[in-house]
Each structure stands twice: as C-alpha cells, then as structure tokens.
Amino acid sequence: MAEQYRRKNRGIDITLLLMGAVVLLLVIFAFWLGGWHLVVSGLKQAADTVQFVWLRLLLGITLGGLIPVLIPVKLISKWLGLESGFKGILTGCGLSIFMYGGPYASFPVIASLHRAGAAAGPVISLLTGLGWLGLGALISYQMPFLGIRLSLARFIACLLIIPLVGIAGGALYELMGRFSVKGRTP
C-alpha cells in the first residue's frame, strides 16, 4: 500500500494545482471587493471550520485506516469492485443510507475503500447517496424545515435515480481514464 501510495504521488498533482489557483483567485476577488477586511473574514470562517472538524476528521481518518485492514480486500472487490457491476452500485446506495458523521468521517472511509479496490461506479453512488439519502440530514434538517411529504418525495426520487448516476459516473470515469495522462490523481 505504501509503495502504491508513493507511485501515485509522483508527477504533477493536478487537483492541488487547481485548488491552489481557485483559492488564489478568490483571495484576489475578495481583496478587490472588500480589501484585506473581507480576506481576513474568509480566513476566520475557515479557522472556525478547522476548530469544528479537526477532532472529527482525525477520528474519521483513523476509522478509514482501520477499515481496510479489517475488511478483506477480496470482500471489498466482491461487493464494490469492478466485477460487482450493478450489485456494487446498489450496495453503494444501500451503504450511503446508513453512513453517519458528515464528510470528515465518511470520506476517509470511502477513500480507503476506493484505494482497497472499490470501483468508480459504486464509489460514485456511495458519495452521491451520502448527500441525497443520508438519514441524518433527512431527519434532523429536511423534515423539520420542509415537512415530511416534500422530504419523502425528494428521498424517493433520489433513491430511484442514484443507480443511474452510479452507472453513468462509472462509465464516464472509465472513458476519462482512456484519455487522461497518468498523474497523481487518486
């Protein structure tokens, strides 16, 4: 795994470059709109986020590290790997309903599953399902603010469409792989 990680980290990190460029652009934009005051205000918001998530993130990353050593790679391949097909996409949807704890907890776990052999389609359906099917947001925020009927209508519509997103996303990922230059992107 360490060697695989080192191999992945050679070359230009396009994701990092892209993010650095966007941050720089937004800093310039904020400075242009409101001077250093607005830039500092944005950085303070970021500091608040760090204060809120750091412990959760640390726990999520620890959990993400433990899961691949606890779940055999063969099992991950069987249920979420390339050969899992439509079953893998449905498994991804199903898992997303019961995943708990926000991106700081779930993303390190899903990233670990992806590195351990979960294919793009199931990972995309799992990531999409986190936002669309998560019971935490449904019960804690949507039902109180928007009522049960509208929340349920959204949930059912998303449940029906997510497998299609998984299939289309997986196909697009493979298609992009044929045209991409090998880089650091995981």
Site residues for other proteins, window 8-67 (CB under 8 A)?
9, 14-16, 18-20, 22-23, 26-27, 29-30, 33, 38-39, 41-50, 53, 55-57, 59-67
Per CB under 8 A, the list member of 12, 75, 135, 176 interacting with other proteins is 176
Report the distance separating Cα 154 and Cα 148, nearest Å.
10
Comparing CB distances to other proteins, the nearer of 23 and 75 is: 23
Per CB under 8 A, the list member of 7, 35, 36, 69 interacting with other proteins is 69
Comparing CB distances to other proteins, the nearer of 76 and 130 is: 130
Per CB under 8 A, the list member of 78, 85, 90, 154 interacting with other proteins is 154
Contacts of residue 134, Cβ cutoff 8 Å, sequence gap at least 6: 96, 97, 99, 100
Q: Does 101 bind other proteins (CB under 8 A)?
A: yes
Stretch that binds other proteins, among 73-81, 82-90, 98-106 (CB under 8 A): 98-106
Report the distance separating Cα 184 and Cα 24, nearest Å.
21
Report the distance separating Cα 37 and Cα 56, nearest Å.
30
Q: Does 75 bind other proteins (CB under 8 A)?
A: no
Least Cβ distance, residue 78 to other proteins (angstroms): 19
Which residues between 121 and 150 bind other proteins (CB under 8 A)? 123-124, 127-128, 130-132, 137, 140-142, 145-146, 149-150
Per CB under 8 A, the list member of 11, 35, 94, 186 interacting with other proteins is 186
CB 131 within 8 Å of CB 180: no
Comparing CB distances to other proteins, the nearer of 55 and 75 is: 55
Per CB under 8 A, the list member of 86, 117, 120, 122 interacting with other proteins is 120
